[in-house]
Chain A
């Protein structure tokens, strides 16, 4: 067994991991509910900014103005999803650790978060972004965030 897995197993056997795992299955379901609600808020906010970048929505506002308002919601949704997701992970470490859909989801999630903090932040910071850069950012943003949802939903089936 790898060292990482050993650390993860220790966490699973910790107070929090055991509390989630051994509690009524409705506690697990509650984390699932918060996880999906967080994702919905995150994705809709990302979609709204992308629509503005492409010129499809809320043209009365500039992209930076929309992004400034939705950024709080993006990170709020992200926070809810990560906290509930972490609780779910530590309640069944081996179930997730060896799951290919889970690994894919985490990889795509990290890429999406990095994009959000770098290129996406850059193109939403100016009123006159480079049009080619906008297209690349929107494409990557949609592919990565949609990918997180698709891979996440597949975890239970692979």
Chain B
């Protein structure tokens, strides 16, 4: 653990890490960009999940929702990851001691695995591809799991500065 902490301290004390942390302009702007990136990526995932559950955009085929929103979700994630990486660079040693930080990554991993399972298994089922009236109930469960897991990511992320 102390080796990890030392590494984090080293990252935070690096030239770029210090410059970011001390910048009164850059730091809040990167925080803002992180928020906008995750609002687009996680937010559009929430809307997709509501479609999978069957409460939103019911007239739009699931496959169309996936096709049209996927590039925006992925672009949003790219923005979120890059800004998140910069934030980590400037406060690595401060954030890794928060339990919420590791919990957040655990839920990102689970949310990501759920998304991969959905994309490579469920979204390729004939019933989904051909937009059948009834789709396997697993599609709905994947949507519910996705909403739950990404909500936990947001909660853990927001709690990083509060725990301890």
Contacts and interface: CB of A to CB of B under 8 A. Distances in A.
Interface of A: 25-26, 28-29, 32-33, 36-37, 39-41, 43-45, 47-48, 51, 56-61, 65-66, 69-70, 73, 101, 146, 149-154, 156-158
Q: How large is the interface on B (under 10, 10 to 19, 20 to 34, 35 or more residues)?
A: 20 to 34
Contact of A60 (B27, B61, B158): B61
Contacts of A65: 59
Chain B contact residues: over half helix, strand or loop, or mixed? helix
Contacts of A48: 44, 47, 69
16 contacts: A29-B159, A32-B158, A36-B158, A37-B151, A44-B39, A44-B42, A45-B47, A47-B44, A56-B68, A58-B60, A65-B59, A150-B29, A150-B36, A154-B31, A156-B28, A158-B24
A41 B159 contact: no
A48 B47 CA distance: 9
A40 B59 contact: no
Contact of B154 (A26, A33, A43, A152): A33
Interface string B27-57: 1110111111011101110110000000011
Contact of B35 (A25, A69, A153): A153
